[in-house]
Amino acid sequence: MTEAPPPHTGDLSGNAARSRTGRKAKVDSTLLPEILQFPSHFQKEEILLKDLSRTRLPYTCQRVLVLGGKPDGERIVRKLLEEPDRYDVLGIFDDRWRRLQGLHHSVPVLGNIDDMITFCRNDLPDIIIVATFDAGRERLRTMIRKIIVLPVNIYLAMDSQQADSPDEAKQDDGNIVLLPLSRVPLEGRNLAFKWVEDKIFAFLFITLLSPVMLGIALLIKIDSKGPVFFIQNRYGFNNKVIKVFKFRTMHVSGTDFSGAQRTVRNDPRVTRVGRYLRNFSLDELPQFFNVLFGNMSIVGPRAHAMAMRVNDELYEKVIDCYSARHKVKPGITGLAQIMGYRGEIKTKESAKKRIDYDLYYITHWSLWLDIKIIFKSMYIVLFKRDNAF
């Protein structure tokens, strides 16, 4: 497989929307977190509010949240409510939501930005529209930085003067311009392709490797006391906590369910059988059942333990917008692993590089890329196991 281009050379927004004004609008690079800045992100085609429904499959109702209350957010809400068969406006959030108390809105005001994040983690909408036309750069940057990690389509609304619209469009709220800030990586046909790929490969590997897995289970029981499987809570899609299956490779007394303690070379906690399993990544085989059950993919950013650390600091403290890697399901293998960031990560620079490749994968997904990663992973497991221990 040819080496992937350096991270930050892709388009965070994914596939371009089909309905546009035909004009370009430049995104201020300072509005986006550094780790999520891609050159092509700063020159995006505009979408008119009245044409937003055309960016989705026909006859589907899109669930929308608006970030910003009166007057700007309310204008957008009222326009969307004119088409109840196309939009379900769930509510308004505002970073200064207390100022909205006592003001009438067409939909409920549900809280501040942190409340919006919590809402989306539990009940993911299709679209978020940021509607604060008069917000200063720093305020806007703070808002975008918080929500950009969510796996939803995010648009920045601009009034006609900001978008330099024709005079005849300025009286029509339908001609409010929306600038795509972030697009769902996998939706529509691509999501269906990914689902089929996962199910086919998971079923195939489980069928072919079931005798091997039975043999491994027997060896684990003979070698040391304890269960055959190690089940650990890890981050899944949209920061959901999922239970990831592995063959147990450590003595029960040394098991770390939190993931805070890194496994090092010649780690005394690892059993005799576990050493061989980890060397050939055979301890990961039960994760094909995770894929079959639907909470993991064959290829994707690796599922990290919730207390995973680098230099004794949590990943989310070290890496800005770390949870953006959770915009897709975690994978058994991924682009970072085949690019040399497999196993122990000792420095913050290496941790950032690993996340860079995760984000590059998310924004450049293709079926062909997944196939190449799968076969390159098999080659590495068989012939290049330097960081497996």
- Which region among 27-41, 222-236, 248-262, 334-348 has the lowest average model confidence (pLDDT)? 27-41
User: The dihedral of CA 82, 87, 88, 90: what is its sign?
Assistant: negative
Residue 44 and residue 20 in contact, taking contact as beta carbons nearer than 8 Å? no
- Closest Cα to residue 287, out of 257, 322, 247, 342? 247
Of the candidates 376, 217, 385, the one whose C-alpha atom is nearest the C-alpha of residue 298 is 376
Rounded to 5°, angle at Cα 161 from 46 and 106: 80
Q: What is the pLDDT of residue 385?
A: 64
Q: Which of 180, 120, 177 is nearest to 150 (CA)?
A: 120
Q: How many CB atoms lie under 10 A from the CB of residue 259?
A: 16
- Dump pLDDT digits (tens) for 129-147: 999 888 788 888 889 989 9
Query: How high is the pLDDT of residue 6?
Result: 47
The Cα–Cα gap between 27 and 33 comes to 13
- Confidence category of residue 382, pLDDT binned at 50, 70, 90: confident
Q: Looking at residue 170, what is its pLDDT?
A: 46
Tens digit of each residue's pLDDT (9 = 90 or more) over 252-291: 887 777 776 777 677 788 899 999 998 889 999 999 999 9
* Mean pLDDT (whole number) for 363-381: 93
pLDDT of residue 265: 72
- Per-residue pLDDT tens digits for 22-58: 455 455 555 556 555 544 444 456 677 777 766 666 6
pLDDT at 20: 46
pLDDT band, residue 372 (cuts 50/70/90): very high
What is the band of 234 on the pLDDT scale with cuts at 50, 70, 90?
Answer: very high
Residue 281 per-residue DSSP state = T
* pLDDT, position 59: 64
Return phi, psi of residue 244, to 5°. Answer: -100, 135
Quick one: what percent of the chain has pLDDT higher than 70?
Answer: 80
Determine the Cα–Cα distance for residues 143 and 379; give it in Å rounded to an integer. 43
Which secondary structure element, helix H or strand E, spans residue 328, and what is its range?
A: none
92 closest CA partner among 143, 51, 124, 130: 130
Q: 154-168, 310-324, 364-378: which has the highest mean pLDDT?
A: 364-378
Tell me, what's the pLDDT at 168? 45
What is the residue type of 131? A
d(CA 123, CA 136): 29
- Separation between Cα atoms, residue 73 and residue 143, nearest integer Å: 14
C-beta separation of 264 from 250 below 8 A: no
Q: What is the pLDDT of residue 45?
A: 64
* Contact criterion met (CB below 8 Å) for 94 and 73: yes
From CA 72, how far away is CA 94, in angstroms rounded? 11
**Eight-class DSSP state of 105:** -
Q: Which residues does residue 129 pair with via DSSP β-bridges, in sequence order?
A: 66, 155
Which residues on neighbouring strands pair with residue 25, listed in sequence order?
Answer: 44
Kindly state the average pLDDT of the residues 349-369.
91
- Residue 13 — very low, low, confident or very high, per pLDDT cuts 50/70/90? very low
* End-to-end Cα separation, the chain, in angstroms: 24
DSSP code for 315? H
Average pLDDT of the chain, as a whole number: 82
